[in-house]
Amino acid sequence: MLSSLVLCASVAGAQQTAASATAAAQPEPAQVNKPDATAPDAPVSSSLAIAAAALGLPDAPEPQEPPTPQNPVPTRRPQTRRILGIIPNFRAVSTDEKLPAQTPKQKFITTTEESFDYSAAVIPILLAGYSMGTNATPEFHQGMAGYGRYLWHAAADQTSENYLVQFVVPVVTHEDSRYYTLGRGSFLKRTGYSLSRAVITRNDNGTNGFNYSEVIGAGASAGLSSTYYPTRERSFSNTASQWGLDVGIDAITMFLKEFWPDVNHAFFHYDEN
């Protein structure tokens, strides 16, 4: 009897030990973390980033700043239609401007503006006073009557020279009658450039060439002026002198057009808000 009880206890202990070993061999179920009701929602961008990473998608490219040009073109200061309000300036543009070729109508319009604007009277008024003071044409005499003769001759000289230099000859030779301001470089460089425009100009096709308009037009104007001056003044030397004067005045006005935007900016702050 005792031996039977011992045998039963041994069998029960062996079964309990086997059950414990089987339970230890099985893995514990994974614990699922339940979301905390009090925790804030994750940002949408974080969720998108996690989803993109799970799918193996590349990150979105970051926005980049546009590249800064290494050598930016300096801004040209603007021209005005008159220099100091007393010198016509209807034909000055920047040398960097890409403009279409002038039509004959446009050349005629700008010539008319420069010839009959109120500021066009300043140079003839000054020339008439100088000529009378030096008694350049004795036949005109002195006084108000004499000054009037000097004045209308100077005005006629200027007007005929304008139309021949800026309209008639440029239409025939296909030259651009505008003055292209250089606007950069040293004073000497810009001075040389502006004065050289008396013999070099831009053609309608955009290339540079000899300034037939200035040289031939001014010469033709000087020859024409001799027809309405007194007979004594109709000499080759006087005509050549008038020719040189016309070219010289045009060269000086080109010099003024070149530097006028800088002077206007420095003293009058024209291009500032």
Q: Count how many Cα atoms sit within 13 Å of the Cα of residue 133 in the half-sphere of its side chain.
A: 6
| Rounded-to-integer distance, Cα 126 and Cα 145, Å | 16
The mean pLDDT value for 33-48 works out to 51
Beta strand pairing call for 200-202 and 208-210: antiparallel
The mean pLDDT value for 147-167 works out to 97
Of the chain, the percentage scoring pLDDT greater than 90 comes to 62
Q: What is the pLDDT of residue 95?
A: 74
- For residue 111, what are the CA distances in angstroms to 18, 88, 120, 164, 205? 118, 10, 11, 9, 20
- For residue 227, what are the CA distances in angstroms to 66, 124, 125, 146, 231? 65, 19, 21, 19, 8
The mean pLDDT value for 145-159 works out to 96
Q: What is the pLDDT of residue 58?
A: 55
Tens of pLDDT, residues 110-123: 999 999 999 999 99
Average pLDDT score over the chain: 81
Buried b (16+ CB within 10 A) or exposed e, 97-106: eeeeebeeee
Of the chain, the percentage scoring pLDDT greater than 70 comes to 71
| Rounded-to-integer distance, Cα 217 and Cα 246, Å | 10
CA-wise closest residue to 181 among 194, 200, 199, 195: 194
pLDDT band at 18; cut points 50, 70, 90: very low
| Rounded-to-integer distance, Cα 98 and Cα 95, Å | 8
Element (H, E) at 92: strand 92-94
- pTM score: 0.70
- Burial label, 18 (beta-carbon count in 10 A; 0-12, 13-18, 19+): exposed
| Rounded-to-integer distance, Cα 16 and Cα 14, Å | 5
Q: Count how many Cα atoms sit within 13 Å of the Cα of residue 65 in the half-sphere of its side chain.
A: 3
- For residue 152, what are the CA distances in angstroms to 98, 125, 228, 235? 39, 9, 11, 20
| Rounded-to-integer distance, Cα 201 and Cα 178, Å | 9
3-state SS record for 196-229:
HCCCEEEECCCCEEECHHHHHHHHHHHHHHHHHC
Q: What is the pLDDT of residue 37?
A: 46
| Rounded-to-integer distance, Cα 167 and Cα 174, Å | 10
For the record, the structure tokens of 182 come out as 């250089």
Q: Is the pLDDT of residue 6 over 50?
A: no
Q: What is the pLDDT of residue 67?
A: 60
